[in-house]
Structure 1
């Protein structure tokens, strides 16, 4: 299934898209991988969705990635005697450790870690920022605040802490249970970690996962931005989770942060996904707003590896149309005359490694000679990542004998992944590359491709060779 675009589409599954027939429609419409939101999925439903995705994968014959998104810590206030309370700007309001119903002067906060960590001057944002409090005094059992703006607070509303670093890790007991269930399935490719604050938050998950899944850090807290380079280094991928990020930071700063994160990930050779409210109006409308189209286009122009649909595909009235629209926007942007210049101006310098040098050379040769495709053999996935980092203007076919590698690479910009056996010798390596490029419609007889591989064959991390080959009349190697 050849995609006529480079950016990938990550579609969230939910009530509107949990059946196998709908998953197939979404894949055919353009979804390259699927997200299972563990905030709303039971372990049984997660296993069912994984099974259905794999059935679609088998039927369509293309590797499909699966991302399990862990909920992360959900910080909420307690309940009120009347279900809600009305506040006035300038008044004093207290959050404390007394487990009794609240009123217009106080409420229970069932999170001792917050009571211990908040300092005077720190902001507390309630209900996605609709109510803003400033801490005036804290004694580890209560936080006395001044109401800055907002007039209402009600039962179980969420609490965001843009100025406070919590000592507790990013994994809750629910997350640990969900992670164990995901790993037990042994068929999930990525796990997304919510509310990452520091690189240490990744350590526990790394220890539990032991390389069985890729780790995608969701950037949605200001604290994460302070140590972003370390977080990128320890992550396998990043997600720009703009919803919570826009609550905890000034919303007007989010577009600039998005650009910074995309460029930092590209420099590091790590995939980056842009998420949240990209085609929000398509939850209930068959067409998006012009602003939403521009939002998706901006992410594509910046060179993001993937763009994500949330409620649009999970619970919306038009899940297939939302995927089709996102794919259509991506194709249009990538054919815009300004696109190559924007993409190439951000091209990072190669690292002093064999994989980077080979990927750079393959891209330069392919563009100079106007070749039909770059074909890279990749067992671990590293060569595929390095090829994509170059953002070549010719297609990249990633051949891997490891199905898990091909599935994981489904989130990476521009990679058309194919599962194939390892080549037996150099002739077989070239013949196989030509045959697959022909079969997958990336080249016709007489076209040339460039192949990157490693000698000895089948040795992970040994990419050290380039070969230009003609596609013959039978799809095999020409003279």
Structure 2
């Protein structure tokens, strides 16, 4: 099954899409990989979903990636005597360590890390920003605030802290248990980390995972933006999580930040996913709004590796239609006459590595000679990533002997992955590439392709050779 588009689709599974038959329909409609939201999935449900995805993968014959999204720290106020209270802008309201039920003057905040970190002048946003408080004083046990805007607060509403750097990592006890369960399956390809604030947040997860999964940092905190280059360097991929990012930062800043993050990831050769409310109206409607279509199109025009569906595919009334609509939008954008010019304008110079130099040369040769495809042999996936970084117009075929690598590359722009054993010699390398590229419908007999590989063959990280090959009528290759 070959996609006629380069941007990938990440679909979240949930009550509307947990069954195997529906997962297959979503995959056939265009979903390239699936997200399991650990905020809602038990360990048993996670294992069931993995089993169902792998069953679909076996039937479809195409590597399918799986992303487990860790919940991260959920910061919430306590409860009130009457479940909620009305407030008045300008009044004083206190958050403290007193476990008694709250009233119109105060409420329990069961997070000592917040009480210790907040400083005078910091903003506290409650219930997705519906209530805006400003800290006037803090002593480690209570935060005395002024109500800036908003008039209501109720039980267990979330707290956002756009100005405060918390002195705790991203992993809660629940996240550690979830991560252990994810790693034990040996079937998950990506783990998404919520509320990353600094590069140090990745160190513990990297140590626990030991390279068994790719680490995707969700960017939803202003503090992460301040150290984004360091976070990108330590991450395997990024997710632009626009929901919480739009709560903690001005809404009008989010589109610019989205462009900034996409371009930073493209420079680094790291996959980037754009997420949250992309086709929100399709939760309850069979067609999206015009603004949502433009939103998806903007991400594709920018060269994002993937766009994500959340509730649209997890709990909406039209999960298959949402995936199909997103796929149709991406395909249409990629045939727009302005698309290639926009993508080309954002290209950056290659890094001083052999893989980058080879990938750049393959792209230039393919364009100059009007070749039909770029074929890269890749064991670790790095050669595939560097090739995709160039955003070539011709199809990219990644051949890997490692199924985990092929699955992980399913999130990468333009990457069509096939699992095959290592070539035994140079003739086998060329013939195998030509046969597979023809059988996958990426080229026809009489076409020419370019192949990147490493000599000695089968040596990870040794990409050092390019070969132009001609596809003969029997599918074999020649010089």
TM-score (norm 1): 1.00
Instruction: Tell whether 2:20 aligns with 1:3.
Output: no
In the other structure, the counterpart of 2:400 is 400
Q: Is the 8 A contact 1:36 1:68 kept in 2?
A: yes
Q: Is the 8 A contact 1:2 1:440 kept in 2?
A: yes
In the other structure, the counterpart of 2:259 is 259
In the other structure, the counterpart of 1:155 is 155
Secondary structure at the aligned position of 1:397 is classed as strand
- Displacement of 1:474 in angstroms is 1.2
Instruction: Tell whether 2:360 aligns with 1:360.
Output: yes
Q: CA RMSD in A?
A: 0.5
In the other structure, the counterpart of 1:454 is 454
User: Counterparts in 2 of 1:268-287, with a 5 A limit?
Assistant: 268-287=268-287
User: Matched residues in 2 for 1:470 and 1:275: separation?
Assistant: 41
Q: C-alpha offsets along residues 372-407 of structure 1, whole Å, 9 cap, x if unaligned?
A: 100000000000000000000000000000000000
In the other structure, the counterpart of 2:249 is 249
User: Matched residues in 1 for 2:128 and 2:342: separation?
Assistant: 34
User: Matched residues in 1 for 2:234 and 2:211: separation?
Assistant: 12
In the other structure, the counterpart of 1:83 is 83
In the other structure, the counterpart of 1:373 is 373
Instruction: Tell whether 2:64 aligns with 1:64.
Output: yes
Q: C-alpha offsets along residues 311-364 of structure 1, whole Å, 9 cap, x if unaligned?
A: 000000000000000000000000001101100000010011110010000000
In the other structure, the counterpart of 1:307 is 307
- Displacement of 1:475 in angstroms is 1.1
User: Matched residues in 2 for 1:470 and 1:325: separation?
Assistant: 37
In the other structure, the counterpart of 1:226 is 226
In structure 1, list runs of 5 or more residues that go unmatched.
none
Secondary structure at the aligned position of 1:442 is classed as coil
User: Matched residues in 2 for 1:365 and 1:197: separation?
Assistant: 41
User: Counterparts in 2 of 1:28-43, with a 5 A limit?
Assistant: 28-43=28-43
Q: Is the 8 A contact 1:34 1:66 kept in 2?
A: yes
Q: Is the 8 A contact 2:430 2:478 kept in 1?
A: no
User: Matched residues in 2 for 1:283 and 1:138: separation?
Assistant: 42
Q: What stretches of structure 1 move > 3 A for 4+ residues in a row? A: none
- Displacement of 1:476 in angstroms is 1.1
User: Matched residues in 1 for 2:185 and 2:338: separation?
Assistant: 44
Q: C-alpha offsets along residues 149-204 of structure 1, whole Å, 9 cap, x if unaligned?
A: 00000000000000000001100000000000000011000000000000000000
Instruction: Tell whether 2:121 aligns with 1:128.
Output: no
Q: Is the 8 A contact 2:238 2:265 kept in 1?
A: yes
User: Matched residues in 2 for 1:224 and 1:352: separation?
Assistant: 27
- Displacement of 1:477 in angstroms is 1.2
User: Counterparts in 2 of 1:100-115, with a 5 A limit?
Assistant: 100-115=100-115
Q: Is the 8 A contact 1:355 1:463 kept in 2?
A: yes
User: Matched residues in 1 for 2:226 and 2:291: separation?
Assistant: 30
User: Matched residues in 2 for 1:313 and 1:44: separation?
Assistant: 21
In the other structure, the counterpart of 1:322 is 322
- Displacement of 1:478 in angstroms is 4.0
User: Matched residues in 1 for 2:478 and 2:160: separation?
Assistant: 62
Secondary structure at the aligned position of 1:199 is classed as coil
Secondary structure at the aligned position of 2:477 is classed as coil
User: Matched residues in 1 for 2:221 and 2:268: separation?
Assistant: 21
User: Matched residues in 2 for 1:127 and 1:205: separation?
Assistant: 29
Q: C-alpha offsets along residues 48-87 of structure 1, whole Å, 9 cap, x if unaligned?
A: 0000000000000000000000000000000000000000
In the other structure, the counterpart of 2:175 is 175
User: Matched residues in 1 for 2:372 and 2:35: separation?
Assistant: 32
Q: Is the 8 A contact 2:448 2:469 kept in 1?
A: yes
Q: Is the 8 A contact 1:446 1:478 kept in 2?
A: no
Instruction: Tell whether 2:437 aligns with 1:430.
Output: no
Secondary structure at the aligned position of 2:80 is classed as coil
User: Matched residues in 1 for 2:316 and 2:296: separation?
Assistant: 18
In the other structure, the counterpart of 2:346 is 346
In the other structure, the counterpart of 1:20 is 20
User: Matched residues in 1 for 2:156 and 2:393: separation?
Assistant: 50
In the other structure, the counterpart of 1:335 is 335
Secondary structure at the aligned position of 1:238 is classed as strand
Q: Is the 8 A contact 1:448 1:470 kept in 2?
A: yes
In the other structure, the counterpart of 1:53 is 53
- Displacement of 1:240 in angstroms is 0.1
Secondary structure at the aligned position of 2:22 is classed as helix
In the other structure, the counterpart of 2:442 is 442
User: Matched residues in 2 for 1:159 and 1:174: separation?
Assistant: 19
User: Matched residues in 2 for 1:144 and 1:22: separation?
Assistant: 50
Q: Is the 8 A contact 1:384 1:415 kept in 2?
A: yes
- Displacement of 1:455 in angstroms is 0.3
Secondary structure at the aligned position of 1:418 is classed as strand
